[in-house]
Amino acid sequence: MRAWLLNDFKGIGSLRLAQAPDPIPGPTDAVLQVHYAALNPADRYLAERQYPAKPRLPHILGRDGMGLIVQSPKSKAQSPTKVQSPKSSAKDPNDFPAHVRTGEKMMVLRGEVGVDAPGTFAERVAVPIQNLVEVPPGWTDEEAAGATLVYITAHQALTIWGGGGVQSPKAKARSPASEPRTASSAFRSPALDQSQSHEVVLVTGASGGVGVAAIQLAAAMGHTVLALSRSPEKRKRLVELGAAATFDPEQPTWPKEVKDWLSVNQHDTSALGRVSLAIDNIGGTLLPQVIETLGDLGRVSVVGRLAGPVPNFNTATLLFRRIRIGGVAISAYPPAESCSAWQQVLKLLSKTGVRPIVDSVFPFDQLPQAFDRLAQGPLGKVVLKVAA
Ligand SMILES: NC(=O)c1ccc[n+]([C@@H]2O[C@H](COP(=O)([O-])OP(=O)(O)OC[C@H]3O[C@@H](n4cnc5c(N)ncnc54)[C@H](OP(=O)(O)O)[C@@H]3O)[C@@H](O)[C@H]2O)c1
């Protein structure tokens, strides 16, 4: 088969399109003939040795993709106790082989594919069956190719805190009058909080794969979404996708503009005119400014660091508003948790009827150009057409 091979860890420039042996599936792997794959910044990090995984070389990158099952697994999946966490609502893993049939169209759900195991920038890839999900009805192949990783990431970023947003007056009326708003009440169960809390969610790098997914999911949850993008054209699109307002992070005055906007437009007293949850894909010099916009008990879900380390950070900025910063890592999800998060994502998307946003589709032999596009800052996902 043809595959993009990574022969060293000197970066994306080292990738070469070459012949590679067909994948040898394990007993619970299916073989997917890849139709479309999608790019993620983590592919570049891995190619530059900036990622914890150190796969055997030559490696094949690519965590996302969809295609046809050309070989179904020989054995049943692992026992439920190995892959299913007690709290998960995911399907019984022993059901997985039943829905992984030869000739079926499926998508890769987050796992080791493209990380420690060979990935989707190849004509065929072996995928553990618990890391495969059906293409949702009505989605195009291109939309399906890059959806799972970014939506699960955005979902985790929105839900890791177990709620804690400032209650809307409606929610306050429903909750017991005696319940004081204390720091510990900010850590209630997600189910309770998701039904009660209205968040003002600020998304940085909002035009990217994770950013667009975060806007769509947060809007479906009923939150007010504020989005940052450096591009005026993309800012217009982000409003169409569900952002209530957008701001230019290259304007030093943007944190004040956010506060001014909230004081005029946020009538339900949420976060007292401040952001309650920030989803940060950027880091760098932007993070201290993001913290400026947060209200009492504001939280930052740290997803990425496209602008690198934060150069100068005063921890005192966290103290008086009791601000909390937490990391997002979808690699922490076992397969059943990913599956459960994916089901919740689909439920949310079906509420608003939105679908994944594809920025561009590149032919298989133009993977380096596709990575250039990703580095420029896409709107949605950059997709690679492998075969169709
Ligand atoms: N923690 C996890 O589990 C997890 C999972 C998935 C992704 N991630 C990380 O999350 C981050 C975002 O991923 P993504 O897929 O959304 O990326 P992406 O598709 O490349 O988009 C990110 C957006 O951020 C903006 N941007 C890019 N470089 C920037 C820079 N140097 N300074 C300021 N803005 C910049 C661009 O928007 P504008 O041009 O519109 O400003 C771009 O569209 C990455 O660091 C990725 O590795 C983490």
- Give pLDDT tens digits for 82-134: 333 333 344 444 444 456 889 999 999 999 999 999 999 999 999 999 999 99
d(CA 128, CA 121): 17
Q: What percent of the chain has pLDDT over 70?
A: 83
Residue with CA at minimum distance from ligand 1 atom 39: 377
Is position 22 within any domain?
Answer: yes
Residue with CA at minimum distance from ligand 1 atom 22: 208
Give the Å distance between the CA of 122 and the centre of ligand 1. Answer: 24
Mutate to test the pocket of ligand 1, among 64, 281, 285, 286 (most ligand atoms within 8 A of CB): 281
Phi, then psi, of 367 in degrees rounded to 5: -60, -40
Last residue of a domain, one of 285, 307, 327: 327
Examine the pLDDT at 187 and tell me if it is beyond 50.
no
| pLDDT value at residue 180 | 35
Q: What percent of the chain has pLDDT over 90?
A: 78
Is position 188 within any domain?
Answer: yes
HSE-CB for 130 with a 13 A CA cutoff: 27
Give the Å distance between the CA of 40 and the centre of ligand 1. Answer: 9
Residue with CA at minimum distance from ligand 1 atom 32: 307
Residue 277 contacts residue 199 (beta carbons within 8 Å)? yes
What is the atom index within ligand 1 of the atom nearest the CA of 380?
Answer: 19
Is position 155 within any domain?
Answer: no
Residues 278 and 220 in one domain: yes
Phi, then psi, of 364 in degrees rounded to 5: -55, -40
Residues 137 and 247 in one domain: no
Residues 68 and 215 in one domain: no
| pLDDT value at residue 267 | 61
| pLDDT value at residue 268 | 57
Question: Which tens digit of pLDDT belongs to each residue from 246-299?
Answer: 999 999 999 999 999 999 987 655 556 799 999 999 999 999 999 999 999 999
Is position 152 within any domain?
Answer: no
Last residue of a domain, one of 286, 308, 327: 327
What is the atom index within ligand 1 of the atom nearest the CA of 381?
Answer: 19
Residue with CA at minimum distance from ligand 1 atom 42: 377
Determine which of 26-35, 94-103, 256-265, 319-328 has the lowest per-residue pLDDT on average. 94-103
Residues 89 and 120 in one domain: yes
Is position 82 within any domain?
Answer: yes
Residues 9 and 123 in one domain: yes
Residues 139 and 216 in one domain: no
Is position 68 within any domain?
Answer: yes
d(CA 118, CA 326): 30
Give the Å distance between the CA of 165 and the centre of ligand 1. Answer: 24
Q: Which residues line ligand 1 (CB under 6 A)?
A: 40-42, 149-150, 153, 205, 207-211, 229-231, 234, 281-282, 303-307, 328-330, 374, 377-378
| pLDDT value at residue 74 | 73
Residues 279 and 314 in one domain: yes
Residues 291 and 213 in one domain: yes
What is the atom index within ligand 1 of the atom nearest the CA of 205?
Answer: 24
| DSSP assignment letter at 109 | -
Between the alpha carbon of residue 202 and those of residues 171, 205, 226, 306, the distances in Å are 21, 10, 5, 17
Say which CATH number the domain at 203 has: 3.40.50.720
Give the Å distance between the CA of 280 and the centre of ligand 1. Answer: 9
**How many structural domains is the chain composed of?**
2
| pLDDT value at residue 76 | 55
Residues 171 and 311 in one domain: yes
| pLDDT value at residue 162 | 86
d(CA 261, CA 17): 49
Give the Å distance between the CA of 208 and the centre of ligand 1. Answer: 5
Is position 346 within any domain?
Answer: no
Residues 108 and 216 in one domain: no
Mean model confidence pLDDT for the chain: 87
Is position 215 within any domain?
Answer: yes
Say which CATH number the domain at 15 has: 3.90.180.10
Give the Å distance between the CA of 105 and the centre of ligand 1. Answer: 29
User: Residue 81 contacts by C-beta under 8 Å, 6 or more apart in sequence?
Assistant: none
Give the Å distance between the CA of 205 and the centre of ligand 1. Answer: 5
Q: State the average pLDDT over residues 160-178.
A: 49
Give the Å distance between the CA of 326 and the centre of ligand 1. Answer: 17
Give the Å distance between the CA of 281 and the centre of ligand 1. Answer: 5
Residues 168 and 142 in one domain: no
Examine the pLDDT at 152 and tell me if it is beyond 50.
yes
Residues 130 and 165 in one domain: no
Whether the predicted model's global pTM rises above the 0.85 cut: yes
| pLDDT value at residue 318 | 97
Determine which of 31-45, 266-280, 303-317 has the lowest per-residue pLDDT on average. 266-280
The token pair at 303 is: 């997803």
Give the Å distance between the CA of 361 and the centre of ligand 1. Answer: 18
Question: Bigger pLDDT: 146 or 79?
Answer: 146
Mutate to test the pocket of ligand 1, among 50, 306, 357 (most ligand atoms within 8 A of CB): 306
Between the alpha carbon of residue 285 and those of residues 268, 310, 376, the distances in Å are 31, 6, 19
- Look up the domain containing 370 and give its range: 2-146+356-385
